A and B are shown apart, each in its own frame.
Chain A
Amino acid sequence: MTGNLVVLLKSTGFSAMTSGNCIMLVIACVLIYLAIARKFEPLLLLPIGFGMLLANLPLCNLMSPPSDGFTGGLVWWLYQGVKSGVFPPLIFLGIGAMTDFGPLLANPKTIFLGAAAQIGIFGTFVGALFLGFSSPQAASIGIIGGADGPTAIYLAAKLSPELLGAVAIAAYSYMALVPLIQPPIMRLLTTRKERAVVMEQLREVSRMERIIFPIISTLVICLLVPPSAPLIGMLMFGNLCRECGVVDRLSKTAQHELINIITIFLGLSVGATASADKFLQASTIQIISLGLLAFCIGTATGVLFGKLMCYLTGGKVNPLIGSAGVSAVPMAARVSQIVGQQANPQNFLLMHAMGPNVAGVIGSAIAAGVFLSLYGL
């Protein structure tokens, strides 16, 4: 009887629980708390937190690959969609179907703000090399500065899967913290007069321009940086479905059902990569710190480029819209609007900031493509 009880107890997860598992379960619960109670990027932090919880339950084998008659854990199968690079582009398909490129088409010079904000990615890449990370790992860390979750996951899964959990958690955490991280940097780098600049109302963009844009941007970007084709191609296909007006069913599916299903699979499987042995390392703290650095540099370079554009245009561009170049759509654009209104209550920067905001999505996909060209293929 006692012997049977001992065998039974040894077969439970409690007996195999390590201190690392316990710490990871606490971290998973903190992420779930932040998602539910604080509403920090809940659509992704909740599945990521729960995936982390599942992966750190001993003997459950949810993340175990197939072996000796075992068909493979449920989450391991879901993870194949991340590892193979299928899920992030499908998320981009949904994002494309939800994105209005009108503000960018109406004021195309703001595209350069989206480029300037990517400097944080490359600056942090060098910083990570300096700390001893390999080039592919440094690239995966730097891309956190793009503030674009699917791009960060896509690149990390291709270049350094061992860092995927830490990179994804850092990326989504900082995206959620945009309203806290960006405003001090924006105020520090601009004068009150610059923040109060009122921009001209944007022109109407015709339907034909909206339809041609996704086609030509696919051609231009994918021919220049072919490894970015899965991300840019899906983003622009989703946008074409939205703008052409003849495939509403496809557009609505991409905007709702498809992106929701993929978000569940992606979040759970990315969270499950954060097992105790991979996550509880000194390098995780370095990744999280470097991610914050990338984000701050990207915000600063965007604002500084905005100041340059303000000067060159004779004060027609409000530098605050530069910070929206870090992607994090539409949160970063909302932050520009809020900080602008604090300086001048008559200031409505939201639509102007959406231009660099969506340009930042394209810019971070180009940056990921550059890294894949250099270290991935």
Chain B
Amino acid sequence: MSAIILEGLKAMMLGIGITFLGLGLLWLVIRIMSIVVRRMEK
């Protein structure tokens, strides 16, 4: 039982990490895109 919970905790940390990484990457890309597009449109 404890081994399953331990595996679950690892999966939880991985899941939270990937969700933040994915949305963090998206944030970075949006920031870069906004800067580039606004410079192009000036």
Residues of A in contact with B (beta carbons under 8 Å apart): 104-105, 108-109, 111-112, 114-115, 118-119, 121-123, 125-126, 129-130, 135, 138, 206, 208-209, 212-213, 216-217, 220-221, 224-225, 359, 362-363, 366-367, 370-371, 374
Are B37 and A220 in touch, CB under 8 angstroms? no
Interface residues in B2-27 by Cβ distance below 8 A to A read 4-5, 7-9, 11-12, 14-16, 18-27
Are B22 and A224 in touch, CB under 8 angstroms? yes
**Cα distance, A104 to B33, chains bound together (Å):** 13
B20 to chain A, nearest CB (A): 5
Which of B11, B18, B20, B30 is in CB contact (< 8 Å) with A105? B30
User: Known interface pairs A115-B19, A118-B16, A371-B15. Does A109 touch B27 (Cβ–Cβ under 8 Å)?
Assistant: yes
List the 8 closest A-B pairs by CB distance, nearest first. A129-B8, A122-B12, A115-B23, A108-B30, A370-B15, A122-B15, A366-B22, A126-B8
Are A111 and B23 in touch, CB under 8 angstroms? yes
User: Known interface pairs A366-B18, A371-B15. Does A212 touch B37 (Cβ–Cβ under 8 Å)?
Assistant: yes
What residue of chain B has the Cβ atom nearest to residue A127's Cβ?
B8
Which of A112, A115, A209 is in CB contact (< 8 Å) with B37? A209
Main secondary structure of the interface of B (DSSP, over half): helix
B25 to chain A, nearest CB (A): 5
What residues of A have a CB within 8 angstroms of the CB of B12 in the complex?
A: 122-123, 125-126
What residue of chain A has the Cβ atom nearest to residue B31's Cβ?
A108
Which of B9, B18, B20 is in CB contact (< 8 Å) with A112? B20
Which of B14, B22, B24, B34 is in CB contact (< 8 Å) with A209? B34
A137 to chain B, nearest CB (A): 12
User: Known interface pairs A119-B16, A224-B25, A366-B18. Does A213 touch B33 (Cβ–Cβ under 8 Å)?
Assistant: yes
